[in-house]
Every structure is written in structure tokens, then in C-alpha cells.
Amino acid sequence: MSITFDPKKQSFILETRETSYQMMVDEKGYLLHLHYGAKVDGLSDHLLTFKDHGFSVNPYSAGEDRTYTLDALPQEFPFQGSGDFRSPAFMVKDATGTIGCDLHYAGYTIETGKYALPGLPAVYALYSDENVQSLTIELKEERLGLSVKLLYGVLPEKDIITRSAIVEHCGDAPVSVEKFQTAVLDFQYGTYDLLVFHGQHGYERQLQRTKVGHTRQAVGSTRGYSSHQYNPFVILAEQSTSEGAGRCWSMQFVYSGSFLAEAEKDQFSQTRLQMGLTEEGLSYELLPGERLVAPEVILSFSGSGFGKLSRNHHRVIRENVCRGVWKDRPRPVLINSWEAFLFDFDGDRLLNFAEEARDLGIDMMVLDDGWFGSRDDDNQALGDWFVNEEKLGGTLGELSAAIHNLPMKFGLWVEPEMVSENSRLYEAHPDWALSIPGKKPTRGRNQLVLDYSRKEVVDSIFDAICKVLDSAEVDYLKWDANRSISDIHSESTLPGKLLYDYMLGLYDFLERLTQRYPNMLIEGCSGGGGRFDAGMLYYTPQIWCSDNTDAVDRLYIQYGTSFGYPTSAVGAHVSVCPNQQNGKITPFETRATVAMAGTFGYELDPSELTEEEKAAVREQIARFKQYATLIQQGDYYRLSSPFTDKVTAWAIHARDRSESLVSVVYFPIRGIAGNAPTRYLRVGGLDPDALYVVGDTGLTLSGSMLGEVGFPLPVPQFDYQSLQYYLKRV
Ligand code: GLA
């Protein structure tokens, strides 16, 4: 059993292979959090201490007992109105504008299997996942007539616990939900660091580690998307925690819209970590009978450092979030037209492009932006989802047939959530774009955002996109979204509900799309990695990681991304030099090494390659295909960090440890290369007792030797040189 309830102690224990999560209902009916961390015997209720805390208020039910205050007790779902003045998870406003509630325990149910969240992405269980159970704890708010159900999913073999919550209005006057966090972890003692993944367009998911001091640290997004700026994945770690040792806890939002993650050290040096919907702009009115579902948060704990924590997330994302036929299948090596042509192409050019790519061994040609309406630059035609047959010199069906004849697969780019003012769609339906009456809307890339909270908008774009897809053989779709949402006003819903309802509209579209085209591979994208989250991965098993294709910048971007997301999700391509985004020149081989830590493909015009480069591409593709399953399904180990080390290295071990692919990129050396100090590399995580042949070094070393002692790397011959070692167990 992974979930147990002790009626005597009124306690719940959720257990995974290595972790235990504990809570209890106290005699006043409040749900207290006790422990999340390594598996322990017994209940840790002895940690609760009671004393008269100055200036901390007491609930009425405590009578004259001043030692009982929720301001100091660890809570499972803190709410505003309880006397806990730390940041709450739940705030609800009544019809008079008064905020304040009192949530008491009302009961529980335990079920076999993993709960689902209708309309929202969520972790699901596989047949092979053993002893998966779900717990629902109900809390009731009498005055307002609310029922709050806290949901817990336990995946014991994966060391994963999921959380969600549903507030249901069973009363009779409207209320509005002003804050609704999904998951909270209260730590009664300890000194922690918060790890967040910040960035910007073209430089996403940069790791920042800071001490949690006596302040409230908050990261999140109010952009309507999870955003380039902060990823909805955070880690709280003890200060000594490193890649391979120490305690750390993670929260990962299975949601693609605005979010908030907070870490707070309180007056008694207790720490609270929480994640959920952003409170800014949220004011979700609930009429009697209505309900609101808090999107899911995936929790994990590792007592042995960040590497293990990341691998827990990699597995759950790969196996229990991603769906569809492409989940486990090796993905096609693709070539994308964007960096090759931008908008400047016609049918002949595309066909030549595909032919050249086919000759190099590439599996699929993706036609990026510019194939529809009058879209010859990025100022117009979004929303006009009909093929520009004049530009293509024929129908899309003809083009896709010609490409399939080569033979190659065919992919297409779309940006369905947007509209250009200069478009037929906007002319016909100006009110479909989000804007505030009487205020000119903000533009982003000269485009506006469609109101996806409106069903007729979603339905109409869905029909238009399906018409295009039905007219040709489309094996792959790149789903882009190239601006943040502003001008929060809709004809169909209240401003405080709009961003959430928008996401429901988007997910509804994506769900219908995946059902109608079950064999089509969909790659997510939002100006690169602006919506790189577990919510999108439920519909699109891979996401374009960044518009920045420079191999060196990608080392940092992919390093940060690897903390929460598997290589199977990371869209990565080889592009030309000087790099189009930052002008950097890196070795061709290094660009391939870095792109092989992802789905692998090309973003260049093969007709401009030298014969030598063409030969290199052929060899790279053959090599990638040899390792594709290992890369996609293996266990990822960060061996060093681009932020602190002279070489950036990572390894992907087969699950059974029979083989591994180790990749290394050298950073520039100062001075004379020949006189440089030797660098050494340790490769942890292999079978300690097995022997491995280490690439073509001539070395055969045990897993323990590789992990504890390592081996010397050759002196690099040029800046940013890369190496790959294939390790095979003998
Ligand atoms: C975004 C994407 C790019 C490309 C362009 C097309 O920036 O991230 O890969 O598709 O849009 O306009």
C-alpha cells in the first residue's frame, strides 16, 4: 500500500520507494504537514511544538489556549483567515468583498490508480507502474459553503507524488477565488537554497541558486504563458546539496499559463515552498454549483543530490506525462526551413531543399513560417490558415506528395493562437482578438492574441487548421506562439477568469488535435522555449528548446533545462556559423554533439554546405541513429556544469547500464594548448562492478573506477572542441 490512514492518530502516510510524505488532522480539525523526505519508520508528529508565540493569533477553537497558532504550525493547505500570516495557498472573497475562510477536515477517500483532471493535463499511470494510488482529502468551509478537495497521486516506483486541488461551491452566494496554490511544503527547520531557472527569449532556463533568507522570494509569470523568463520548475535544497549528494525537493507545474512559485522564511525560521496559479490577475468567480481545479504539481525528493532528483522528473515526464505513438519511438531527424530561408522560398526551392536533405540522410522536411495567406514577413496574415498556392506553385497536398516520394516525411509550422491585424480573419472578426474596449491593444511581433476562452474562436481555428492538415499528408506539426498575453478582457468571461479559461481553450484544441491525428508528431514552441513546461509535454512530446541555436549558449540552456526535463523533450538542431542569433563560430562537430542531447535535426540550407560538411552531416546522422534510443530513453547524468567547469560534460546511461554515451565540450583554454593542464572526467552512475570499454581510448575500466577515479581527457586542439565516448559493458 502506498497510502495509509491511521484512524487513531488521524494521520496519512504516502510512501514511495525512497520517500515518505506525512500529514495529520489535529484535534481542532486542521490538516498539518509533518514530513516529506526520506522514508522513515513512524509518524513525525513529535516535531510539533506548542508555546505562546508573541503576536501570533489563535483560532477560536483553541479557546484560551495561546500556545496553539497556525502562524507557527506546518500546514498542508494554508488559507487566509486562519491566523497564519505567511503567504497562504488559498484566498477566497465573498459577495461583500470580505476575504477570509476557515477550512476544516471533513473526510478522505483512497483509490487505486492515478486521478485525472478533466480538461487539464496531468500525470497518468502506466500498467507497469505498481501500487499507484490516489488520495482525496476533503476540507470544508462552512460559512461560504465550499468544499476543497486536496488530491494526491502516489507513484511509488518513480518516487513521485502529484498534487492538485478542486474547490467546489456548494453554498448559495457567489464567491471569488483570489489565490489558489496547488502544493505547499512547510519545513519546520533548516537553511535552504532556492534554485530557479530564469532567462529571456533566446536564453532560457539559466540556473540561479540563492539562499532563502527572511524575505519572500517569488518567481513566476503573468504573461499568460509559463514564459522564457521563469520556468515553472523550482528546487529547494539544503545548502550543502550538490549534484550527487544532499537533500532537495522539487515542484514542477503541469500547466502552461501564468504561475507563481514562492519560498518564504518566516519569523521562526521555518520555510514554506509553494507553487500554483499566479495570484496577480486571478479573481475566479464561482457561482453555486461551479468548481475550479488547481493545475497539477509534480513533487519529488532526493536524498542524494540534484542528479537523482532530475532523473525522477525525466522518467515521470517521459513515461507518465508524454503520450501518443511518438512517446517512445525514435523521432525523425528533421531539417527545418526557418534558418535556411526565413520567408523567402517557393515550391521549387523547398523541393530542392528536401532533396538535398534526403541525400544527406535526413528523414523529414519541415516547412516553417510563410506558407499561408499573404505571409511574406512577420507583420501579417496570422489567422489566415489557407495555403498560399501561388507561392508554393501548387497545393500543399502536391508538395507533401512530392516530398513523400523522395521519400521523406513532411512537417508544417502553425501559430494558431494569434492573429495579425493585417489579415482576413481580423477583418472578419476584430472582436476575436484580446483587447480592452477604449484602449488600443499592445502589439507583440506586430500580432494580437486570439481569445481562446471563447469556444467559437477555438472551434473556428481548429476547423481551419484541420482543413489544411486534411489536404496533405502532414507527419509533424510545429505549434508556435510568439508573444505574451496582455489586454485581459473578453466578451465571454470575467477578466479574473480569462487567463485560466484561455488555457482550458488551448488544451481543448490540443486534445482534439491529438485525437484526430494520433500519428502526427507535434513539437511545441513559443519563440523557442517560452512555453517549455510539463503541461505542453502532455500534448507535444518535444518542444523547441530555444530560438538560440548557438552550441555554446545551448550548453547553458540545455544544462538548465535538464534539471526538470528529459532529453526526449528537448528540440535541438545543428545550424550554420556564424550563428544567426549571436554571431558565434563553433566547430561543426560540437554543434552536432550538443544537438545530440536532444531530438536532433538541422536548421540550415544543405546546398550551402561544402562536400566535407556534407560528409560530416551523413556521419553525424548515422551516429545519432545508432544512439537514438539510448539518448531518448536513457538516464541522464550531468558530469559538470558550464557555469563553473572548464569542460561541460554529460552522460546518458542505458537503463540496464549496458552502455553509455558520454559527451564533452571544452571551453577555450588560455595560453598554449599543448602546455595546458590535463583535464579528467569522472562518470558516475554506471554499474560499479561491471567493466566498460571507454570509446577508442584503449581503456577498459570498471564502473566504480569511472565513477570514483575517472580518466584523463586529451588536450584539446581548438576552442569548443567536443568529444563523444561510447561506453560498452564487456
Ligand atoms: C518563432 C520560432 C522559430 C520560427 C519563427 C517563425 O520565433 O521559435 O523557430 O518558427 O517563430 O516565425
Q: Which residue's CA is minimally distant from atom 12 of ligand 1?
A: 369
The 3-state secondary structure of 436-493 reads CCCCCCCCECCEEEECCCCHHHHHHHHHHHHHHHHCCCCCEEEECCCCCCCCCCCCCC
Residues known to be catalytic: 533, 613
pLDDT at 1: 76
pTM: 0.98
Helix or strand run (H / E) with residue 307: helix 305-316
pLDDT at 675: 80
Q: Where are the domains of the chain?
A: 3-320, 334-632, 647-729
* pLDDT per position as a tens digit, 596-641: 999 999 999 999 999 999 999 999 999 999 999 999 999 999 999 9
* CA of 527 relative to ligand 1 center, distance in Å: 6
* pLDDT confidence band for 669 (50 / 70 / 90): confident
Q: Which residue's CA is minimally distant from atom 11 of ligand 1?
A: 527
* pLDDT per position as a tens digit, 488-528: 999 999 999 999 999 999 999 999 999 999 999 999 999 99
Q: Which residue's CA is minimally distant from atom 6 of ligand 1?
A: 369
* pLDDT per position as a tens digit, 401-425: 999 999 999 999 999 999 999 999 9
* Residue 676: pLDDT over 90: no
Closest C-alpha to 497, from 304, 224, 262: 224
* pLDDT per position as a tens digit, 303-329: 999 999 999 999 999 999 999 999 999
* CA of 415 relative to ligand 1 center, distance in Å: 9
pLDDT at 307: 98
User: Which CATH number describes the domain made up of 647-729?
Assistant: 2.60.40.1180
Q: Which residue's CA is minimally distant from atom 2 of ligand 1?
A: 527
pLDDT at 264: 97
Q: What is the mean pLDDT of residues 26-39?
A: 98
CB atoms within 10 A of CB 456: 12
Strands 601-603 and 334-336: parallel
What percent of the chain has pLDDT above 70? 100
Closest C-alpha to 69, from 61, 433, 379, 272: 61
Q: What is the mean pLDDT of residues 722-727?
A: 98
State the chain's mean pLDDT as an integer. Answer: 97
Q: What is the mean pLDDT of residues 366-378?
A: 98
What CA–CA distance (Å, rounded) separates 56 from 433?
48
Q: Which atom of ligand 1 lies at the shortest distance from residue 527's CA?
A: 8
Q: What is the mean pLDDT of residues 558-582?
A: 97
User: Which CATH number describes the domain made up of 334-632?
Assistant: 3.20.20.70
Closest C-alpha to 360, from 723, 725, 627, 604: 604
Name the residue of 338, 378, 536, 549 whose CB sits within 8 Å of the most ligand 1 atoms, as the mutation to test its pocket: 338
pLDDT at 462: 98
Name the residue of 415, 476, 482 whose CB sits within 8 Å of the most ligand 1 atoms, as the mutation to test its pocket: 482
* Residue 25: pLDDT over 90: yes
pLDDT at 670: 77
Ligand 1 pocket by Cβ (under 6 Å): 338, 368-369, 378, 413, 480, 482, 525, 527-528, 544, 547
User: What is 3-320's CATH superfamily?
Assistant: alpha-galactosidase from lactobacil brevis (2.70.98.60)
